[in-house]
């Protein structure tokens, strides 16, 4: 940005101040009624009361609960001056508001934190209030939606403030055991006391754009650790990339996203029996033709299927440990009226996408993300659809440093135990550990032009014959075509392949039909059956 | 006529004096303190001489050092600028004794005008309204220093119990530049406007009254925005003030450029405040609307020439000055300063200049003029938007916010200090 651009912004901000009109702190332009900049979309901090106002404006209902837990301890801990100041400027009696909301027929308990009240810090009083909110929701069988804001622990209250984090988590544990959904909305700023207790423990973590989300304050990192940090340190994008968030959602879409998520996470799924059947095939294609198709850049990739299969997929990101693997699309959506969790390997369609997606090579964090999504599906009784298309698990330095081998085996072990039906389909290239780690399922099908191999043909040639180019005459020996796999009894069906539309329909029908077949098993039978399938995978 | 002038000042006013001297063909010597070696005045002057350390008492208030410098550089005169020793009768006297022309009124006049309490008495005797005196049992009241500079030394006492404390802090707040610890008490008036009557008088008794200035936008009793002519005071009232000013100038026998300051209350009563026996910071607006060079007038009259101005000089247009000040010290990174027709900038800063903590934080005076006051305000707004200075915080936003006020635009705004 040039000096003149900066001057322009400075002038805009000043002029807004003169007119007593709120202005974007980023570019100085006007804000809309959601306090979002009309020009640059910068999201200004929103007071808790204003959020309630917006819920009501959108036809929602809000009834305050647990107000009796707003106890003033500021005299005991000697900070009454600040406490009084914030009471006056916010019109609140503590930094947390709890209420029962009804929006579009969905009822949930909401926890709103006010950053402008004692920086939204956790205190003895509001710690108790949040704990009570989770207990109330557990007792009444209601989901919880938290709008997190503010800092850590109220330091004036010392260790009493600190233990609030554990106290809240104890009630969150009971709440989770009941299988109720918790959606956490992280707003600017959310730090330690909140993030390290319940803030990032949502079944779904949503962040508002340009929020700062972190453990320790930036000043702390700079002044005490003397660490140089990047400009985007603790930004929502940074946390998303670090695997801590599912999505960044604009303020105008948050309420709808919450409603959509609650509609999926309500354990109320229907599987209809009158579905048409997919068309099967013998997979008689020649290996070199198959290979050529697979390697074709204009070939359909995971993201094409995602948006054809689901009208409005909700993509969930992050392994909640360290990274979001972009080569694996995971999330929730509906196929033929069936609420579904999806795990889709996604290569790139061009060089740029391929670089972004690591050429579709799943990283350890990808397998860990898949495990997380499978567990989410299990908690909310959603079947899992897995689409496989990857040249293999990532074998490089970044993967080894994060224990790729362990990630693959953990993925297999976890999928073996996941208490919900799993349908896997090889849509393109099923290769080595990258495919195997996500092949553990109740049914496994292949498209007629797909492959499933122990290694890529290139590597096969290089290792066995010491020749880096693919040797066409040796391809047949690799036995990677759908027909080969079917003949070995390693896949259940070969799906006929055609256009993207046709293939989508095939997946839809195969998925629905499989679920109908699997629905006659209860969970124990399903897991026993899955165990036996895998235990006897190589026996025809 | 004066041949060579020693400028015993710094900053923008030193530059301002050099500008006129150059036009008149007068040689200049700048007397500077140690840390001011890198200032614009030192660069522009024909000669420069260091007169002491950075602290004002060691340099710009150091009478022997300044006179020594004037003698050593062969100056026949000295210009004190404003502030520092500009109204110090002792300085003027000793300059005279050393055979150096003091560009300003004679020392005996300075001696009279310097004591505010005595000037007030003089005015009262002439029938000029003055602010009624108060005694410490009738609070609220105002404590004023007889030798206070500008707003310095003024304290408002709200309750009787605060009196001793206020008096003590009034004494403390006086700068080292002003000696004496005589204080007097005045009743509080419902202050509306601060009006300056600018005049030029010569040694032969010819007095010219120039357009009055409205200096009612202040901060801690220090002027921030000034304009001329005065827009929101009845004409008859202004004329009365001008007549009283002439009476007072005659009584004192004032013989150079000066200003008589009046206060006007909300009931449209006016009161004599003090005489400023020097060039003022805001002399620029008067120059802009009259076309008169006031520094030139000072030099000509000090050289013994006659005042050739008419008795009453009227304003041809309207001018506004904003004082741009630094809020902190730092190396200035100047990207842009205002330009264009009827825009004048009096400054001494340049790219990379480091603001000195020892002196007044004024970094530039932005002056605009136009036939219509509202158009002048628009020009000033644009001029302030053109100022891009990094490296130090300035009051540019506050200036802009003030001139954008509805009441400023209609001419009724005034602000003097937080105590008001
Ligand atoms: Zn903006």
Confidence of residue A474 (pLDDT cuts 50, 70, 90): confident
Q: What share of chain A is helix, strand, coil (3-state, %, to 5)?
A: 45, 20, 40
Residue A150 is predicted with a pLDDT of: 87
Q: Which two tokens stand for residue A455?
A: 């290694």
In B, minimum Cα distance to A18 occurs at: B401
Residues A246-273 have a mean pLDDT of 93
Query: B105-116 pLDDT, tens per residue?
Result: 999 999 999 888
| B373 is known as an active-site residue | no
Cα separation of A390 and A360, whole Å? 5
Cα(first)–Cα(last) distance of chain A, in Å?
A: 66
**Structure confidence by residue, pLDDT tens digits, A28-63:** 999 999 999 999 999 999 999 999 999 999 899 999
For A70, A120, A165, B61, B67, the CA distances from A127, given in Å and listed in that order, are 10, 11, 7, 64, 74
**Which SS3 state, helix, strand or coil, does residue A27 take?**
coil
Interface ipTM? 0.83
Question: What are residue A97's DSSP bridge partners?
Answer: A112
Taking the C-alpha atoms of residue A120 and residue A110, their distance in angstroms, rounded to an integer, is: 16
Sole residue written with tokens 């048409």 = A276
More confident residue, A478 or A279: A279
Q: Which residues of A touch B385 (CB under 8 A)?
A: 7, 11
Report the C-alpha gap between A333 and A517 in whole angstroms: 21
CB-CB under 8 Å, A4 with B401: no
Nearest CA in chain A to B388: A7
- Tell me, what's the pLDDT at A235? 96
Q: Is the pLDDT of residue A403 over 50?
A: yes
In angstroms, rounded to a whole number, what is the distance separating the alpha carbons of residues A413 and A405? 12
Residue B178 pLDDT > 60 = no
d(CA A105, CA A102): 6
**pLDDT at A458 exceeding the cut of 90:** no
The residue whose two tokens read 């200004």 is A44
In this prediction, residue B221 carries a pLDDT of 79
- Comparing A142-146, B80-84, B154-158, which segment has the lowest mean pLDDT? B154-158
Report CA(A108)–ligand 1 centroid distance (Å): 33
Structure-token pair, residue B289? 């609307």
* Mean pLDDT, residues A396-409: 96
The dihedral region occupied by A440, where left means phi > 0, alpha psi between -120 and 50, and beta the remainder, is: beta
Write down the H helix ranges in B73-221.
89-97, 107-114, 116-125, 163-173
Q: What spacing in Å lies between the alpha carbon of A5 and ligand 1's midpoint?
A: 13
B150-168 tens-digit pLDDT: 566 678 888 888 888 888 7
Query: For residue B217, what are its two tokens?
Result: 């936008």
Residue A246 exposure: Cα atoms within 13 Å on the Cβ side: 27
Statement: residue A490 has pLDDT above 90: yes
Select from B385, B388, B401 the Cβ nearest to the Cβ of A18.
B401
| Percent of chain B's residues with pLDDT above 90 | 81
> Half-sphere exposure (CA, 13 Å, Cβ side) for B143?
26
Q: Give A444's pLDDT tier (boundaries 50, 70, 90).
A: very high
**Residues 6+ away with beta carbon under 8 Å from B215:** B194, B195, B196, B223, B226, B282
pLDDT at position A335 is 93
Please answer whether residues B274 and B110 qualify as being in contact, where contact means their C-beta atoms are separated by less than 8 angstroms.
Answer: no
Q: Is the pLDDT of residue A151 over 80?
A: no
**Structure confidence by residue, pLDDT tens digits, B17-74:** 999 999 999 999 999 999 999 999 999 999 999 999 999 999 999 999 999 999 999 9
Residue A197 pLDDT class (50, 70, 90 cuts): very high
Instruction: Tell whether the model's pLDDT for residue A411 goes beyond 60.
Output: yes
Going by C-alpha positions, the residue among B92, B369, B382 that lies closest to residue B255 is: B92
What is d(CA B296, CA B26) in angstroms, rounded to the nearest whole number? 11
Phi-psi label, residue B195: left if phi above 0, alpha if psi -120 to 50, beta otherwise? beta
Least confident span in A317-321, B143-147, B289-293: B143-147
A524's tokens: 């124990």
B294: which DSSP letter?
A: H
| Yes or no, beta carbons of A14 and B388 under 8 Å apart | no
B25-38 b/e (C-beta count within 10 Å ≥ 16 → b): ebbbbbbbbebbee
Whether A113 and A96 have beta carbons less than 8 Å apart is answered as yes
Instruction: Go through the domains of chain B in sequence order and give each one's CATH number.
Output: 4-103 (3.40.50.20), 132-187 (3.30.1490.20), 191-409 (3.30.470.20)
Please judge whether A7 and B388 are an interchain contact, meaning their C-beta atoms are less than 8 angstroms apart.
yes
Total H helices, total E strands in chain B: 13, 19
> How are beta strands A204-207 and A182-190 bridged, if at all?
parallel
CB-based contacts of A533, cutoff 8 Å, min separation 6: A442
Could you give the CA distance from residue A229 to residue A232 in angstroms, rounded to a whole number?
8
CA of A44 to the centre of ligand 1 (A): 9
* 3-class secondary structure per residue, B111-131: HHHHCHHHHHHHHHHCCCCEC
The span from the CA of B307 to the CA of B298, in Å, is 10
Work out the average pLDDT over B266-275.
95
Mark yes or no for CB contact A14/B401 under 8 Å: yes
On average, the pLDDT of chain A sits at 93
Phi, psi angles (nearest 5°) of residue A226: 55, 40
> Under an 8 A CB cutoff, do A14 and B335 touch?
no
**pLDDT confidence of residue A145:** 98
Q: Which residues of B touch A4 (CB under 8 A)?
A: 388
User: A-chain residues within 8 Å CB-CB of B336?
Assistant: 7
Higher pLDDT, residue A472 or B392: B392
User: Between chains, do B404 and A18 touch, taking CB under 8 Å as contact?
Assistant: yes
Q: pLDDT digit string (tens) for B114-130?
A: 888 899 999 999 999 99
Q: Residue A315 and residue A299: Cα distance in Å, rounded?
A: 22
Strand positions, DSSP E, A379-436:
384-388, 422-426, 429-431
Query: In 3D, which of B295, B383, B399 has the Cα closest to residue B342?
Result: B383
Residues of B in contact with A11 (CB under 8 A): 385
Whether B333 and chain A come into contact, CB under 8 Å, resolves to: no
Q: What is the pLDDT of residue B418?
A: 60
Token pair in block for residue A247? 């999505």
Nearest to B82 by CA among B253, B277, B218, B263: B277
Report how far apart, in Å, the C-alpha atoms of A431 and of each of A11, A144, A230, A480 are: 58, 41, 37, 9
| Backbone phi and psi for residue B329, each to the nearest 5 degrees, phi listed first | -95, 145
B222: pLDDT strictly greater than 50:
yes
Spatial distance between the Cα atoms of B402 and A233, rounded to a whole number of angstroms: 39
Which A residues in the span 3-32 are in contact with B, Cβ-Cβ below 8 Å?
3-4, 7, 11, 14, 17-18
> pLDDT band at residue B176, thresholds of 50, 70 and 90?
very low
Give the nearest partner residue to B397 out of A3, A4, A14, using CB atoms. A14
- Inform me whether the C-beta atom of residue B382 falls under 8 Å from chain A C-beta atoms: no
Could A14 and B400 be called an inter-chain contact, meaning their C-beta atoms sit closer than 8 Å?
Answer: yes
pLDDT at A540 over 70: no
Q: What count of residues does chain B have?
A: 420
Interface membership of A1 toward B (CB under 8 Å): no
Nearest-angstrom CA–CA distance, B337 and A469: 68
Q: What would the DSSP string read from start to end of A446-508?
A: EETT-EEESS-HHHHHHHHHS-SS--HHHHHHH--BHHHHHHHT-SSEEE---SHHHHHHHHH
> Distance from A29 to chain B by nearest Cα, in Å?
17
When pLDDT is cut at 50, 70 and 90, the band that residue B137 belongs to is confident
Evaluate whether A538 touches A453 at the Cβ level (below 8 Å).
no
> Which pair of tokens denotes residue B82?
């404003």
Helix, strand, coil content of chain B in percent (nearest 5): 35, 30, 40
Alpha carbons B203 and B198: distance in angstroms, whole number: 17
Q: How close is the nearest chain A Cα to the Cα of B192, in Å?
A: 23
Asked if A18 and B335 come within 8 Å (Cβ–Cβ), the reply is no
Q: Write down the pLDDT at residue B146.
A: 81
Query: Exposed e or buried b for every residue in A108-146, given b needs 16+ CB within 10 A?
Result: bbbbbbbbbbbbbbbbbbbbbbbbbbbbbbbeeebbbbb
Ligand 1 centroid from CA A247, angstroms: 21
Top pLDDT among B136 and B216 is at B216
Domains and CATH numbers, chain A: 43-264 (3.90.226.10), 287-534 (3.90.226.10)
Residues A268/A235, Cβ–Cβ less than 8 Å: no
Cβ distance B404 to A4 less than 8 Å, yes or no, reads no
**Integer Cα distance of A535 and A530 in angstroms:** 8
CB of B335 within 8 Å of any CB in chain A? yes
Q: Could you tell me the distance, in angstroms and rounded to a whole number, from the CA of residue A36 to the centre of ligand 1? A: 8
CA of A177 to the centre of ligand 1 (A): 43
In this complex, the residue of A3, A14, A18 whose CB is nearest that of residue B335 is: A3
pLDDT on residue A298: 67
Q: On the CB side of A500, how many CA atoms lie within 13 Å of its CA?
A: 12
Is the model more confident about A297 or about A118? A118
Instruction: Kindly give the pairing relationship between strand A314-315 and strand A328-335.
Output: antiparallel
Residues of A in contact with B390 (CB under 8 A): 3
Q: pLDDT higher for B183 or A109?
A: A109
- Of the residues B10, B213, B278, B300, only one is catalytic, namely B278
Residues of B in contact with A9 (CB under 8 A): none
A–B: how many Cβ contacts below 8 A?
16
Tell me what percent of the residues of chain B surpass a pLDDT of 70. Answer: 96
DSSP structure string for A80-139? HHHHHHHHHHH--SSSEEEEEEEETTEEEEEEEE-TTSGGG-B-HHHHHHHHHHHHHHHH
Is residue B400 less than 8 Å (CB to CB) from chain A?
Answer: yes
For A16, which residue in chain B has the nearest alpha carbon?
Answer: B401
- How far apart are the CA of A218 and the nearest CA of chain B, in angstroms? 24
């Amino acid at each position: 940005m040039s000096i003149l651009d900066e001057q322009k912004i400075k002038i805009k901000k000043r002029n807004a101040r003169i007119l007593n009109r709120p202005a974007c702190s980023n570019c100085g332009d006007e804000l809309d009624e959601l306090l979002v900049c009309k020009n640059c979309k910068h999201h200004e901090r929103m007071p808790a009361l204003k959020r309630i106002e917006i819920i009501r404006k959108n036809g929602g209902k809000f009834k305050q609960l647990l107000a009796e837990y707003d106890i003033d301890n500021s005299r005991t801990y000697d900070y009454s001056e600040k406490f009084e100041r914030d009471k006056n400027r916010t019109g609140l009696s503590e930094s947390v508001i709890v209420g029962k909301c009804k929006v579009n027929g969905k009822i949930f308990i909401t926890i709103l934190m006010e950053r402008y009240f004692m920086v939204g810090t956790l205190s003895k009083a509001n710690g108790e209030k949040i704990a009570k909110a989770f207990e109330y929701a557990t007792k009444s069988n209601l989901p919880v939606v938290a709008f997190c804001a503010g800092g850590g622990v109220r330091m004036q209250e010392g260790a009493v403030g600190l233990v609030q984090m554990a106290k809240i988590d104890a009630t969150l544990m009971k709440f989770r055991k009941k299988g109720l959904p918790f959606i956490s909305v992280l707003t600017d700023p959310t730090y330690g006391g909140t993030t390290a207790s319940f803030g990032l423990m949502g079944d779904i973590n949503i962040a508002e754009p340009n929020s700062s989300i972190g453990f320790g304050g930036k000043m702390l990192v700079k002044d005490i650790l003397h660490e140089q940090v990047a400009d985007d340190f603790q930004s929502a994008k940074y946390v998303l990339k670090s695997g801590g968030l599912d999505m960044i959602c604009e303020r105008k879409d948050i309420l709808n996203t919450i409603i959509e998520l609650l509609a999926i996470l309500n354990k109320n799924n229907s599987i209809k029996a009158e579905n048409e059947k997919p068309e099967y095939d013998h997979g008689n294609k020649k290996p070199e033709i198959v290979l050529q198709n697979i390697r074709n850049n204009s070939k359909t990739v995971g993201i094409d299927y995602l948006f054809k299969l689901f009208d409005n997929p909700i993509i969930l990101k992050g392994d909640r440990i360290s990274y979001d693997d972009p080569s694996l699309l995971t999330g929730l959506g509906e196929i033929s009226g069936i609420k579904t969790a999806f795990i889709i390997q996604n290569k790139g369609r061009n060089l740029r996408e391929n670089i972004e997606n690591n050429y579709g090579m799943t990283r350890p964090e990808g397998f860990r993300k898949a495990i997380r999504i499978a567990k989410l599906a299990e908690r909310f009784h959603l079947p899992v659809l897995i689409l496989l298309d990857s040249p293999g698990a990532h074998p490089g330095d970044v993967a080894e440093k994060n224990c790729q081998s362990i990630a693959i085996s953990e993925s297999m072990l976890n999928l073996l135990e996941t208490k919900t039906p799993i349908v896997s389909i090889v849509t393109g290239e099923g290769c080595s550990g990258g495919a195997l780690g996500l092949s553990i399922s109740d049914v496994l099908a292949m498209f007629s032009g797909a492959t499933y191999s122990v290694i890529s043909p290139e590597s096969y040639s290089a290792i066995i014959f010491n020749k880096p180019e693919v040797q066409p005459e040796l391809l047949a020996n690799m036995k990677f075509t759908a027909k080969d796999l079917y003949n070995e009894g390693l896949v259940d069906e070969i799906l006929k392949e055609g256009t993207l539309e046709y293939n989508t329909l095939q997946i839809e029908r195969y998925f629905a039909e499989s679920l109908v077949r699997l629905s006659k098993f209860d969970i124990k039978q399903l897991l026993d059956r899955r165990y036996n399938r895998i235990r006897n995978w190589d026996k025809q | 006529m004066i041949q060579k002038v020693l400028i015993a000042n710094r900053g923008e006013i030193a530059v301002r004096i050099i500008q006129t001297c150059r036009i008149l063909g007068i040689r200049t010597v700048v007397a500077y303190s140690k840390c001011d070696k890198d200032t614009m005045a030192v660069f522009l002057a024909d000669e420069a001489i260091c007169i002491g350390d950075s602290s004002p008492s060691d340099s710009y208030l150091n009478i022997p050092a300044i006179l020594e410098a004037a003698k050593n550089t062969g100056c026949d005169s000295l210009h004190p600028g404003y502030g520092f020793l500009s109204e110090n009768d002792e300085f003027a006297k000793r300059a005279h004794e050393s055979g150096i022309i003091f560009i300003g009124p004679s020392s005996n006049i300075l001696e009279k005008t310097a004591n505010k309490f005595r000037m007030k008495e003089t005015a009262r005797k002439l029938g000029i309204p003055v602010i009624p005196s108060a005694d410490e049992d009738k609070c609220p009241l105002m404590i004023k220093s007889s030798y206070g500079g500008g707003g310095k030394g003024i304290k408002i006492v709200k309750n009787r119990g605060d009196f001793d404390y206020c008096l003590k802090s009034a004494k403390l707040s006086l700068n080292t530049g002003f000696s004496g610890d005589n204080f007097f008490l005045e009743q509080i008036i419902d202050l509306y406007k601060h009006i300056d009557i600018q005049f030029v008088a010569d040694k032969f008794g010819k007095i010219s009254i120039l357009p009055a200035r409205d200096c009612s936008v202040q901060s801690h009793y220090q002027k921030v925005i000034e304009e001329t002519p005065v827009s929101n005071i009845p004409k008859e009232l202004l004329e009365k003030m001008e007549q009283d000013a002439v009476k007072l100038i005659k009584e004192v026998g004032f013989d150079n450029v000066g200003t008589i300051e009046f206060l006007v209350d909300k009931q449209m009563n006016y009161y004599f405040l003090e005489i400023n026996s020097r060039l003022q910071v805001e002399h620029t607006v008067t120059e802009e609307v009259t076309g008169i060079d006031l520094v030139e007038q000072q030099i000509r009259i000090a050289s013994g020439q006659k005042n050739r101005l008419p008795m009453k000089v009227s304003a041809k247009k309207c001018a506004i000055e904003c004082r741009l000040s630094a809020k902190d010290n730092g190396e200035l990174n100047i990207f842009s300063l205002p330009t264009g027709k009827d825009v004048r900038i009096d400054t001494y800063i340049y790219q990379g200049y480091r603001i000195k903590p020892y002196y007044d934080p004024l970094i530039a005076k932005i002056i605009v003029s136009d036939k219509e006051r509202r158009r002048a305000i628009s020009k000033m707004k644009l001029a302030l938007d053109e100022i891009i200075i990094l490296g130090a915080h300035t009051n540019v936003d506050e200036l802009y916010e003030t001139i954008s006020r509805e009441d400023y635009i209609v001419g009724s705004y005034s602000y003097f200090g937080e105590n008001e």
